[in-house]
């Protein structure tokens, strides 16, 4: 399914019936990032919608703006298309900041937010790390290697197949440029919108996430900004929803029950 927005169109799919949970993947990924988390949420009685970021997956490419605010606007457009009374938004990595923008822009449509190893605050990076990011942004193979490494403890049985699909996607120059624009964006602006978020918040974080110097401290900082709670999965990396989907669901379901 697709929704048209200014500048292109977004791909999404829907499964289950009940209160709406919208799942947004991180940069360089597709909506299949939630392939293992979706079944337990559907079984628990929720409608789960997963979407591709602009420039990724089956969404169109060639956008002028790949900022977190722009992605947040895409989420708002999707919520309007779905016309649900209220949704809980899950956002991994780069999309963690995008769901903050969406909640600030349309509070009447957002019942709760769940950044999953999200970039909600601008985290300073040293010169070496920035250089590494530039290399990764230019190479689908290096991105695939990072993606595997970021599953720090448990490797999903289908991880190799998922990585192969990501490499195939990023062979398209326009999609590689979309990932690059997000990956090298050092003007992360979600923190500016945090003060406008009034809905309940749950921050999920992998304790071994390689993207943060101190993942547990980052989770606490984000939870404090959002006036919410933090759950740190000690042995997970940057993608707990695919590394430990059952445990992620266990952390998420009580929050969803309280929200809805």
pLDDT in tens, 81-105: 999 889 999 999 999 999 999 999 9
| Token pair recorded at residue 43 | 């079984």
| Token pair recorded at residue 211 | 């993207």
SS (H, E, C) the chain: CEEEECCEEEEEEEECCCCEEEEECCCCCCHHHHCCCHHHHHHCCCEEEEECCCCCCCCCCCCCCCCHHHHHHHHHHHHHHHCCCCEEEEEECHHHHHHHHHHHHCHHHEEEEEEECCCCCCCCCCHHHHHHHHHHHHCHHHHHHHHHHCCCCCCCCCHHHHHHHHHHHHCCHHHHHHHHHHHCCCCCCHHHCHHHCCCCEEEEEECCCCCCCCHHHHHHHHHHHHCCEEEEECCCCCCHHHHCHHHHHHHHHHHHHHHC
Q: What sign does the CA torsion over 21, 22, 27, 29 have? A: positive
Q: What's the chain's Rg over C-alpha atoms?
A: 16
In the block, tokens 């999707």 appear at 78
For 57: left if phi > 0, alpha if psi spans -120 to 50, otherwise beta; the answer is left
Question: How many independent structural domains does the chain possess?
Answer: 1
pLDDT at 192 over 90: no
Distance between CA 25 and CA 96 in Å, rounded?
9
pLDDT at 127 over 70: no
Q: Report the CATH number at residue 178.
A: 3.40.50.1820
Tell me, what's the pLDDT at 160? Answer: 97
* Neighbouring residues of 256: CB distance < 8 A, sequence distance ≥ 6: 19, 21, 41, 44, 46, 88, 112
Tell me, what's the pLDDT at 189? Answer: 77
Tell me, what's the pLDDT at 85? Answer: 87
In the block, tokens 């420039």 appear at 55
Average pLDDT over the chain, rounded to whole? 94
Nearest 10 degrees: CA dihedral of 137, 140, 145, 146? 30
Q: Confidence band (pLDDT; 50, 70, 90) for 185?
A: confident
Environment class of 75 (CB within 10 Å of its CB; exposed 0-12, middle 13-18, buried 19+): buried
**Strand partners for 115:** 91
Tell me the pLDDT tens digit for each residue of 5-19.
999 999 999 999 999
* Domain of 12, in residue numbers: 2-259
């Amino acid at each position: 399914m697709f929704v048209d927005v200014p500048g292109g169109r977004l791909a999404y799919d829907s499964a289950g019936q009940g209160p709406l949970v919208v799942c947004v993947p991180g940069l360089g990924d597709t909506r299949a990032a939630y392939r293992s988390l979706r079944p337990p949420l559907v079984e628990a009685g929720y409608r789960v919608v997963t979407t591709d970021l602009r420039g990724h997956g089956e969404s169109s490419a060639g956008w002028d703006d790949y900022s977190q605010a722009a992605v947040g606007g895409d989420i708002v457009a999707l919520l309007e298309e779905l016309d649900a009374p209220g949704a809980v938004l899950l956002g991994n990595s780069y999309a963690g900041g995008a769901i903050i923008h969406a909640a600030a822009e349309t509070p009447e449509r957002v019942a709760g937010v769940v950044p999953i190893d999200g970039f909600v605050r601008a985290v300073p990076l040293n010169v070496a790390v920035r250089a590494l990011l530039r290399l990764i942004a230019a190479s689908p193979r290096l991105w695939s290697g990072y993606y595997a490494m970021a599953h720090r403890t448990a490797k999903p049985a289908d991880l190799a197949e998922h990585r192969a699909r990501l490499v195939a996607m990023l062979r398209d120059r326009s999609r590689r440029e979309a990932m690059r624009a997000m990956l090298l964006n050092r003007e992360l602006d979600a923190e500016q919108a945090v003060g406008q978020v009034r809905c309940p918040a749950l921050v999920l974080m992998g304790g071994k996430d390689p993207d943060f110097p101190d993942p547990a401290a980052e989770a606490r900082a984000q939870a404090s900004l959002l006036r919410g709670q933090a759950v740190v999965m000690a042995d997970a990396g940057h993608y707990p929803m695919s590394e430990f989907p059952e445990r992620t669901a266990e952390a998420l379901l009580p929050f969803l029950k309280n929200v809805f």
